[in-house]
Amino acid sequence: MVIAADNTIPFLKGVIEPLGEVRYLSSGEFTAEAVREADVLIVRSVDKCTRSVLEGSRVKLITTATIGFDHIDTGYCDAAGIVWKNAPGSNARSVAQYLAACLVTLSMRTDTPLQGKTIGIVGVGHVGKEVETVCAAFGMHILRNDPPRAEKEGEASFVSLETVAEEADIITFHTPLTKEGKHATWHLANESFLRKLKRKPWVINSCRGAVCDTKVLLDGRGTGQISALIMDCWENEPHISCELLQTVAVATPHIAGFSADGKANATRMCLEEISRFYTIKVERIGEVVPAAPLCPVIDLNQFASLRVEQAVLTAFNPLPVDKALRDTPEHFESFRANYNHPREFAAYTILHATEEEASVLSRLGFSVPSFA
């Protein structure tokens, strides 16, 4: 077996080699010539699996270490008999952790408590459900918008996008990117959406860049209809709008799902798909485990105030990567490829929490022994 794998996928090297010949490629090296003799591709979102790359190859299976799969020409793959598999839910908690940290950052910066705020979650799948858990822990009122789920499960638990626009103090997008069909999400945040905003919300995009129209976001910030933007996903990545970058409260280079835990989950899921497809055992899959944090214990007594918020930012603080991106936005993809993947909240143990703090932190996913 010949496997072509993205050379930045963590935990893969040394584990997959027993399965066959492994050729590690950078994103720019996924060409027709490079994959022609490959049986399996292991990719991420920057590795474009298009017809021009795949046609004439012997590729039988594509596994992507991502939730999204818009970088794969699924129509061509289905027609050509190429099986493709994504990694749904692998980084859901990572994105929720990112959202928690960004909300805490903006809350502290603006002296705006999160408790009691109304948040509209657009897209309540694997990620949206984890985001809902985080927001509930902070005492926020939640509006859920997910038309496909509403059609299947009934409207009672969901609201329209118009209701989200009219009633939410914070709006966060967690949809796939689709350009066709009844519930297409391309430019879901468009001029019509902007006109319906009533409460000058914070708007967050940590799903796919083109779900939000860049011009609309700029217009919204310019008019004040959007009071703040948190942007992890951008149109035209890696060549992002520097004009938009200058208006954003928290800016990151598409790393919301990049926790060490999420990466390990995705790598394991790719290996499991190869195992199922070829009916072979991946002997070393148990080695796909992230390392413990350098300081896995967070003692709340070290913080004079805002102890829950400080615990969140101790586990993950978005501001260092925010500064790096602002300083050199042209290094967008390099930041992603060389990112220092943080551990998720569950890897940290909290000490000296009050009952109220323990309740919030345990719901966020931290280990709180006295609360357990």
User: Positive or negative CA dihedral for 304, 307, 309, 310?
Assistant: positive
Q: Domain span at residue 19?
A: 2-90+260-287
pLDDT higher than 90, residue 27? no
Task: Please tell me which residue in 29, 167, 237, 272 is annotated as part of the active site.
Answer: 237
Task: Please tell me which residue in 254, 268, 307, 336 is annotated as part of the active site.
Answer: 254
Segment 18-29 shows an average pLDDT of: 94
What's the confidence (pLDDT) of residue 18?
94
**Residue 292 lies inside a defined structural domain of this protein:** no
Catalytic annotation present for 254: yes
Q: Does 78 share its domain with 96?
A: no
277-311 per-position pLDDT tens digit = 999 999 999 999 999 999 999 999 999 999 999 99
Q: Does 230 share its domain with 117?
A: yes
175-216 per-position pLDDT tens digit = 999 998 999 999 999 999 999 999 999 999 999 999 999 999
What pLDDT band is residue 152 in, cutting at 50, 70 and 90?
very high
What's the confidence (pLDDT) of residue 285?
95
Q: Does 114 share its domain with 239?
A: yes
Angle, in degrees to the nearest 10, between helices 260-278 and 92-110: 160
pLDDT higher than 80, residue 235? yes
Segment 107-135 shows an average pLDDT of: 97
Looking at the structure of the chain, the number of domains it has is 3
User: Positive or negative CA dihedral for 42, 127, 124, 371?
Assistant: positive
**Residue 86 lies inside a defined structural domain of this protein:** yes
Segment 104-113 shows an average pLDDT of: 97
**Residue 97 lies inside a defined structural domain of this protein:** yes
Q: Does 159 share its domain with 301?
A: no
309-363 per-position pLDDT tens digit = 999 999 999 999 999 999 999 999 999 988 999 999 999 999 999 999 999 999 9
Q: Does 147 share its domain with 30?
A: no
Q: Does 80 share its domain with 96?
A: no
User: Final residue of a domain: which of 287, 305, 338?
Assistant: 287
**Residue 370 lies inside a defined structural domain of this protein:** no
What's the confidence (pLDDT) of residue 371?
58
Which CATH number is 214's domain given? 3.40.50.720
Task: Please tell me which residue in 208, 221, 268, 343 is annotated as part of the active site.
Answer: 208
Catalytic annotation present for 183: no
What pLDDT band is residue 68 in, cutting at 50, 70 and 90?
confident
Q: What is the mean pLDDT of the chain?
A: 96
Q: Does 85 share its domain with 100?
A: no
**Residue 282 lies inside a defined structural domain of this protein:** yes
**Residue 371 lies inside a defined structural domain of this protein:** no
Which CATH number is 322's domain given? 3.30.1370
**Residue 369 lies inside a defined structural domain of this protein:** no
154-166 per-position pLDDT tens digit = 999 999 999 999 9
Q: Which amino acid is at 285?
A: I
**Residue 49 lies inside a defined structural domain of this protein:** yes
Q: Does 107 share its domain with 78?
A: no
Torsion angle defined by CA atoms of residues 55, 61, 62 and 64, in that order, rounded to the nearest 10 degrees = 180
Segment 94-117 shows an average pLDDT of: 98
Q: Does 61 share its domain with 195?
A: no
236-278 per-position pLDDT tens digit = 999 999 999 999 999 999 999 999 999 999 999 999 999 999 9
Q: Does 97 share its domain with 86?
A: no
Looking at the chain, the whole-number percentage of residues with pLDDT higher than 90 is: 96
Q: Does 139 share its domain with 196?
A: yes
Q: What span, in angstroms and rounded, lies between the C-alpha atoms of 339 and 245?
A: 19
Q: Does 79 share its domain with 194?
A: no
What would the DSSP string read from start to end of 242-259? HHHHHH-SEE-SS-TT--
Angle subtended at Cα 181 by Cα 176 and Cα 185, rounded to the nearest 5 degrees: 35
